[in-house]
Structure 1
Amino acid sequence: MPEAGTVLVLAGRFDPTADLAIEELNRRAVPVFRADVAEFPLRLVLDASLNGSGWHGTLSTDQRTLHLQAVRSIYYRRPSRPQFPKDMSPEARKVAEREARLGFGGLLAALPCRWLSPPGKAADAEYKPLQLRVAAEAGLSVPRTLITNDPHAAKDFAESVGGQLVYKPFYPVRGTVQGEMSAVYTTLVDPRDLSHPNIATTAHLFQEWVPKVHEVRLTAVGSRMFATEIHTDSESGRVDWRSDYESHTYKICDPPPEVAAGVRQTLDRLGIFYGAFDFAVTPEGDWRFLEVNPSGQYGFVEQATGLPITAAIADYLEGVGT
């Protein structure tokens, strides 16, 4: 017999954020089936047929079986890509990857259940140009921004701003340099460097620097919001708090009503139900939108403040409230 109301969790096997939600669902005795897309097709077997107006079948590992008609919700938490036999030719692998995305992924998209968040919408929301435009349309205050590969345009932008600029990567850049872990964070830009020919090699995002007394991480789960001030006491942390977690202190806060309304509209327009929003708060108390991560981590905030973010996620996946 199918387990009633199973939550399907699609996440990497080593994902502390997914672990928090699964532990809470287990505590509530809500059935959970965890899998990583990387297990398909070698260790995850799909068997589904269209019967009437709905899909019926199973998703199985060598230990457990999930009945598709029992899925109440899907928690999509950065799963890995499908893994294929090592001896598969590059040409065959390319075809198999596409078929897996359209077949396996398409079947999951066809299930009549709630997602946190729909993978296509979440992927679109990763685009910073899109989220900045949507946030501005939703009434949030967005710093002046330039995207360019033209050094002359970058210099003109700096002159028009008339103050400090920052550079931001479009996606987190992490790796190993000379045997040591390295990452690219938000960086203050010297206007003299804007003539560098490397700017022409790809798209760059430049933004006016926002003077701030602190930043805020606002985690939104459906209609519920959990906001925390992040204070830092290091030079690097004041530019980008992600560069120095050890310097943080946290304080729970409430977003201004107009910011809360803008966050709700941004989520609605992006079509996602979870977002980790970052704001810079100026000395005048203005909240300036920096970005939203549709699958951002929240455990560090919850651990420091006790805010019930995991419970809100479990509520959503369980179908309790919105």
Structure 2
Amino acid sequence: MAGAGQVLILAGRFDPTTDLVVEELNRRAVPVFRADMAEFPLRLSLTASLGGSRWLGTLANDRRTLDLASVRSVYYRRPTRPQFPERMAPEARKIAETEARWGFGGLLSALPCRWLPPPGKAADAEYKPLQLRVAAEAGLCVPHTLITNDPEAAKAFADSLGGQLVFKPFFHVRGTAHGQAAAVYANIITAADLPHPDIATTAHLFQEWVPKAYEVRLTAIGGQIFAAEIHAGSAAGRIDWRSDYDSHTYRVCEPPPEVAAGVLRMLDRLELPYGAFDFVVTPEGDWRFLEVNPSGQYGFIEQATELPITAAICDYLEGIGQ
């Protein structure tokens, strides 16, 4: 049965994925209070006191006031950092940022409601070494992987594979270069490219290259699974589909039962209600796990396939069927 109360949405101000959730909750006449951490403390005020075993109080901006006791669930989608007065001294700003994290963030985490995703668990799940271990424990097939800062170890790993391998960053690398947006995606390398002295400068992740028939974005939410094939139409997209969205075509698919079961086991072990999973499907039909994003976008998949992912997310936030 659906619960009562409001859904608190903490997200960046311009986020199309969050917009989909807000629009669906509005359509359902579910009360929503949307805010970004960047609004605190200049445009967002917080007042709370401990009443018995619950925090009672309000969160308010210049438009609305949220009763903290009324929050039934929180949708947490990459909010941006708190912003402080420009005139604030750097030392004071550092302290204020720390206090905002542990005070404002800590209070919200103390609310007795469900989160999608829980920030602490989501942060832990961002670690790729943890993802890969838990995926293997859950029964998913994981490519051979090496983490090292030893150039000779990277060379030996490449030699052992006897073919191409992939270098990829541990975390999203985005920024600007020469005044334009830039990002680092997965790259194919061979044993001939190794050893390379730059490997010694930090930790590097190498994986065997898995031949692709296509890739799959599998979105799981509250026990439901939605999967779509991604067929890349460019050379760059076939290496890393995120590098060329415009070339893709999509098709709804059904994951093998053992993959679906492994996905749900993995989310259970990571204590997450939601995950955006990436798989490679080989020409032989084998599914290989690449990664899971605990707050990954899904709008492009829903738009292309009409899979009802937003509805499933809103069901979870409402408590329907839980």
Please give the range of the TM-score, normalised by the shorter of the 2 chains: over 0.9
Q: 2: distance between equivalents of 1:32 and 1:257?
A: 36
1:72-87 → structure 2 map (5 Å cutoff)? 72-87=72-87
What's 2:144 paired with?
Answer: 144
**Is 1:171 matched up with 2:175?**
no
Counterpart Cα distance in 1 of 2:244 and 2:39: 35
The alignment partner of 2:297 has SS state of coil
Opposite residue 147 of structure 1, the aligned amino acid is I
Structure 1 CA distance, aligned partners of 2:70 and 2:105?
17
Aligned twin of 1:108:
108
Number of residue pairs matched by the alignment: 319
More deviation, 187-196/226-235: 187-196
Deviation at residue 28 of structure 1 after TM alignment: 0.2
What's the counterpart of residue 294 of structure 1? 294
Q: What is aligned with 1:271?
A: 271
User: Aligned partners of 1:321 and 1:31: how far apart in 2?
Assistant: 19
Deviation at 1:168, TM superposition (A): 0.6
- The C-alpha deviation readout for 1:231-272, integer Å capped at 9, x for no partner, is 112111111111111211111011111101110011111111
Q: Distance in 2 between matches of 1:80 and 1:175?
A: 16
Q: Does 1:58 align with 2:58?
A: yes
Number of the residue aligned with 2:68: 68
Supply the AA of the counterpart residue of 2:316.
Y
1:190 Cα deviation (Å)? 2.8
SS, match of residue 84 in structure 2 = coil
Q: Does 1:118 align with 2:129?
A: no
Q: Which residue number in structure 2 is paired with residue 13 of structure 1? A: 13
Q: Which amino acid aligns with 1:278?
A: D
Contact 2:10–2:36 (Cα < 8 Å) also in 1: yes
Cα deviation digits, residues 288-316 of structure 1 (max 9, x gap): 00000111110010000000000001111
Q: Percent identity?
A: 76
Q: Secondary structure at the match of 1:104?
A: helix
Cα deviation for residue 176 of structure 1 reads 2.0
- C-alpha separation in 2, matches of 1:87 and 1:200: 41
Aligned to 1:22: 22
Structure 2 residue aligned with 1:312 = 312
| Deviation, structure 1 residue 284 | 1.2
Deviations 1:138-187 (A, max 9, x none): 00000000111110110011111122100111112122222232221111
- In structure 2, the partner of 1:280 is 280
- Given residue 215 of structure 1, which amino acid in structure 2 is its aligned partner? E
Matched residue, 1:135:
135
2:302 counterpart letter in structure 1: E
Matches within 5 A, 1:176-187: 176-187=176-187
Question: 1:295 is matched by which residue type in structure 2?
Answer: S
Q: Which residue of 2 aligns with 1:41?
A: 41
Output the amino acid matched with 1:259.
V
C-alpha distance in 1 between matches for 2:296 and 2:173: 15
Q: Distance in 2 between matches of 1:276 and 1:252?
A: 15
Partner of 2:228: 228
Q: Measure how far apart 1:321 and its partner are.
A: 1.6
2:192 matches 1:192: yes
Q: 1 CA distance for matches of 2:66 and 2:287?
A: 45
Q: Is the 8 A contact 2:176 2:182 kept in 1?
A: yes
SS at match of 1:275: strand
The amino acid across from 2:98 in the alignment is: R
Q: CA–CA distance in 2 between the matches of 1:198 and 1:208?
A: 20
Deviation at 1:194, TM superposition (A): 2.2
Q: Give 1:5's aligned amino acid.
A: G
Q: Distance in 2 between matches of 1:78 and 1:126?
A: 13
The alignment partner of 1:321 has SS state of coil
Q: Which moved more, 1:84-93 or 1:127-136?
A: 84-93
Query: Where do 5+ consecutive residues of structure 2 fail to align?
Result: none
TM-score (norm 1): 0.97
Which residues of structure 1 form unaligned runs of 5+? Answer: none
Q: Distance in 1 between matches of 2:153 and 2:64?
A: 57
Amino acid at match of 2:321: G
Q: Does 1:208 align with 2:208?
A: yes
Note if 1:96 corresponds to 2:96: yes
Q: Which moved more, 1:170-179 or 1:76-85?
A: 170-179
Letter in 2 for 1:175: G
Deviates more, 1:236-245 or 1:17-26: 236-245
Aligned counterparts, 1:240-279, within 5 A: 240-279=240-279
Deviations 1:56-107 (A, max 9, x none): 0000111110000000000000000111111212221121111111111111
Aligned-residue Cα RMSD (Å) equals 0.9
Q: Which amino acid aligns with 2:154?
A: A
TM-score by length of 2: 0.97
